[in-house]
Amino acid sequence: MRIGMGYDVHKLSKDRDLIIGGVKIPYDKGLLGHSDADVLTHAIMDAILGAAALGDIGKQFPDSDNRYKDISSIELLKEVAHKIKDKEYKVINIDSTIIAQEPKMLHYINDMITNIAKALEIDETDINIKATTEEGLGFTGKKEGIASQAICLIQKM
């Protein structure tokens, strides 16, 4: 068994869709990035890649490559699933946290779990997603950005 952790952060910006866990969330700002800037999915990908000793999403999907411009992070997560399968690993479970002052995430978490489980071809019960605020502190508390953390356990098949 191997464990990996991931962290991602993106700045909030006007004229962008807010996509988290593959879910489009109604909000007046979205996350700025080369892809869809899905912080949750990025943190999960980094956790999985780290556990499998495959580097990180910057190494696997560099922002200098236009193939990844505005791409769905769920599509990239599917590629990560294939990469670890090629190394004969499978995801055992994922625990993650979204850190955002706004918007509230509660109503979207089940759809996020469904999207991530489908992309990884694992059971929804093997994924946990939590959301928290930082009580107005820091860049997330000041509504300047959103962050996410994830930890993942994998094992050889």
User: Which residues are known binding-site members?
Assistant: 8-10, 34-35, 42, 56-58, 61-65, 100-106, 132-135, 139, 142
Cα–Cα distances in angstroms (integers) from residue 44 to residues 10, 61, 65, 156, in the given order: 15, 14, 21, 18
Full strand arrangement of the beta sheet holding 89-99: 30-31, 2-13, 145-156, 89-99, 127-132
Task: With CA atoms as reference, report the closest residue to 78 among 31, 114, 39, 117.
Answer: 117
Residues in binding site for a divalent metal cation = 8, 10, 42
Distance, CA of 32 to CA of 51 (rounded, Å):
27
